[in-house]
Amino acid sequence: MTVAALGDSLTQGFGLAPENGFVPVLSRWLDRNGAEVTVINAGVSGDTTAGGLSRVAWTLTPEVDAMIVALGGNDLLRGIDPDVSRANLDGILKAADEADVPVLLVGLDAPSNYGADYEARFEAIFPDLAETHDALLYPSFLAPLTAESDMATALATLMQPDGIHPNAEGVTRIVEGIGPHVLELIARASDEGSGS
C-alpha cells in the first residue's frame, strides 16, 4: 500500500536530517506497528493550500491508495482569508474523492493574533470539510507537542530555534500522536480496495 503525505515544511522535514523528518519517522512507526506501507513525501517547504491544490493531481498517481493532507500553516503565517484556504482544501479533497483515495485531513490551531473571528473561521475548516468529504480528521498536527508540557517548555525542548518547526524529538511525538490515525486511514483504504 502507498500513502502520499501532501503537505508543507512540516511534512517535508525542514531543518532536520533526512532520517528525522516526518515521513521517514512515520514510515518506521508504521513498520513497527505491522503496516507494510510506502509513504511518499509530497511535502514542499513554504507551500500553501493553493500550492497543494496545484500539486494534488500529480500527487494522486495510480499507485497512491491513501493520502494525508497537512496544509494550512503557511496560509496562517500569511494571514490568508480562511474562505480561500477552505476552497483550496475542498478542491484537494474533491480530487481525492474523484480518485477514490481516502484522506486523513490534519488540522491546525490558529493563533489568536488575527482575532477571534479569523481563528474560529480557520479552525472550523478542518472538521467541516472532513464531514463533507467523509475524510478522517486529526485535529492538530502540533498538538502532541503541548500534550505533556506548557507551550514555553515545548518551544524550548521540542521545537527548532525558529519556533515553527519541530526538532527530531518533536517529530517523534507528532508521529506517536498521528500514527494510530494513519493506521485507521490504511484500514479504510484496504477496505475500499477490497470492494467492501
How many residues are listed for the chain in this entry? 196
Q: Please return the burial class of 191, using the count of CB atoms within 10 Å of its CB with bins 0-12, 13-18 and 19+.
A: exposed
Per DSSP (E only), the strands in the chain are 2-7, 38-43, 66-70, 103-106, 136-138
**Catalytic residue from among 65, 75, 85, 165:** 165
Burial code (b: 16+ CB inside 10 Å, e: under 16) for 3-40 equals bbbbbbbbbbbbbbeeebbbbbbbbebbeeeebebebb
Mark whether 133 is an active-site residue: no
Of 9, 27, 65, 85, which residue is the catalytic one? 9
Which entry of 112, 117, 162, 196 is annotated as an active-site residue?
Answer: 162
Q: Are the beta carbons of 86 and 52 closer than 8 angstroms?
A: no
* C-alpha pair distances (Å), 144 with each of 31, 106, 127, 193: 21, 13, 18, 31
* Element containing residue 148 per DSSP (H, E): none
Q: Is 112 a catalytic residue?
A: no
For residue 9, indicate whether it is catalytic.
yes
Catalytic residue annotation: 9, 162, 165
